[in-house]
Structure 1
Amino acid sequence: MKVAVIDINGKKTGRSVELSKAVFGIEPNDHAIYLDVKQHLANKRQGTHKAKERAEIVGSTRKIKKQKGTGTARAGSIKSPIFRGGGRAFGPRPRNYSFKLNKGLKKLARQSALSIKAKEENIVVIEKFDFDTPKTKNFTSILKALELENKKSLFVLDGSNNNVYLSSRNLERANVISGSELNTYKVLNANKVVISESCLEEIESNFSK
């Protein structure tokens, strides 16, 4: 599959690149995508939720009423979960939500995500660019040229574009990452995936092994 290379003004450069079929042209595996996205979201969870149970509630330990003759159920502690202000029964405890996935499955999921975007013609290849200083206005002008100012966009650039990353940091719908940070969730969450020409070879090398 050939894709035209464009410049930062959204105009064709007259060159084109061939997208690797092993990365951008496979039959998507929906279950692999599901597992990889599930792991990504699970790893982002802090897992610091906590509710106090009856042993952790501060309160009197005396028996609140006599055992028999009240006409109601027996009760031994004001900290019981059945009373207002008592402890939580089987409440949440801190835990780690992360889980392991095999490297092969994660690679398949990312190949599948990129193949979906390529099939939808939502892969854009842009020539290498950089800014002298971080400036949001410069990055906004690129989004306007590519007609992406009102869409979610993912820019995948090589690791030396620190000024570009800083220029996009305040923009809610734009996300700039390096090729090594590319993952299934970010690819599928974007309307357009903009890949720099210099980073394309790195992506194909990483995901075609």
Structure 2
Amino acid sequence: MPSTTCCSSRALFRARRTASSRSERRSAMAADKASTGRRRPKESAAASPARTISAPLLGVSGQSSREATLDESVFGSDVKPHLVHEAVRADLNARRAGTQSAKSRGLVAGGRGKPWRQKGTGRARAGTIRAPQWVGGGVAFPPQPRGYAVKVNRKAYRSALRGALSSHASEGTLAVVDKSAFDEPSTKKAAAFIDAWGQELPVLLVATDDEVGLAKSFRNLERVVVVHPSEVEVAAILWARALLVSETALEAVQGRAS
């Protein structure tokens, strides 16, 4: 029979060895963590040149005469899909009138009396002829007038607007119309302008109230929509395959998105 002293000494030796191995592992882990967590000296990065974003400035012929400089903070932003989704949802919901309505059983005229007695006829029980299962009865759970407006924070909407404008600028589907191009209304010249530009329809044109000739020239064209700078929406920009901004309205659009 083994002695108790021998077993206890062996257990004590094992405990000491385990404790020492644990302390060694802890010290090794701490040293490894300290070595990996040490900050590296910052490398001197060369100053990147400022990026200039531009769009073609089109004359009355639809050809580019020179380049128009765009605001990089507006037309060079990143597209954030979740914010764009919120903005488009808010724009589309704002267009809904919300005037849908139907009459429930309590609003339909007539049907005050019980059509037949409760028992003895062999028919199903009925309390009114204006119940939803009756022809001429009310609607079960009828739609009622309501508002569909969805609130979007101002900063979030502006960020989505910058992303939509930047997508047109990066894809080359954005152009600026010379302010002296359409002094007089001419739908024929506007149609030739669109053909010479060569972009796909539909086209969204942003023009100010003072540019009457420009607005009248394009508003009669099929699949061309003319809007004021204050009415520019994310949903409309994404709907359009190409975006035209007048030289006068460019500053207002940039101010709305910044």
State if a TM-score over 0.5 links the two structures.
yes
The Cα shift of 1:82 comes to 1.4
Give the partner amino acid of 1:168.
F
Give the partner amino acid of 1:205.
G
Q: For the residues of structure 2 that align with 1:169 and 1:2, how far apart are their CA atoms?
A: 26
The Cα shift of 1:117 comes to 1.3
Which among 148, 161, 175 is matched to residue 211 of structure 2?
Answer: 161
2:57 corresponds in structure 1 to 5
Q: SS where residue 249 of structure 2 aligns?
A: helix
Q: For the residues of structure 2 that align with 1:205 and 1:95, how far apart are their CA atoms?
A: 33
2:142 corresponds in structure 1 to 91
Given the two structures, how large is their TM-score scaled by the length of structure 1? Answer: 0.88
The answer to whether the 8 Å contact 1:159/1:179 transfers is: no
Q: Identity over the aligned pairs, expressed in percent? A: 34
The answer to whether the 8 Å contact 1:155/1:175 transfers is: yes
The answer to whether the 8 Å contact 2:201/2:241 transfers is: yes
The Cα shift of 1:71 comes to 4.3
1:39-188 equivalent positions in 2, closer than 5 A: 39-128=90-179, 129-132=181-184, 134-148=185-199, 151-188=201-238
Question: Runs of 5+ in structure 2 lacking a partner?
Answer: 1-52
1:203 corresponds in structure 2 to 253
Deviates more, 1:197-206 or 1:78-87: 197-206
The Cα shift of 1:136 comes to 2.5
Say what the alpha-carbon RMSD is for the aligned residues: 1.9
Give the partner amino acid of 2:59.
D
The Cα shift of 1:200 comes to 2.1
Instruction: Map Cα deviations across residues 85-135 of structure 1 (whole Å, 9 max, x no partner).
Output: 110011011112223222111111100111111222211122113332x44
Q: For the residues of structure 2 that align with 1:80 and 1:189, how far apart are their CA atoms?
A: 45
How many residues align? The count is 205
1:37 aligns with 2:84: no
Q: 1:58 to 1:68 in 2, by over 3 A?
A: same
Q: For the residues of structure 1 that align with 2:240 and 2:128, how far apart are their CA atoms?
A: 54
Q: For the residues of structure 1 that align with 2:224 and 2:68, how far apart are their CA atoms?
A: 24
The answer to whether the 8 Å contact 1:4/1:16 transfers is: yes
Deviates more, 1:2-11 or 1:78-87: 2-11
The answer to whether the 8 Å contact 1:8/1:145 transfers is: no
Q: SS where residue 55 of structure 2 aligns?
A: strand
The Cα shift of 1:70 comes to 4.0
Instruction: Map Cα deviations across residues 47-98 of structure 1 (whole Å, 9 max, x no partner).
Output: 1111111112122322112212444531110001111211001101111222
Q: Taking CA–CA contacts closer than 8 Å with sequence separation of 6 or more, which of the two structures ends up with the larger relative contact order?
A: 1
1:23 corresponds in structure 2 to 74
Higher gyration radius (CA): 2
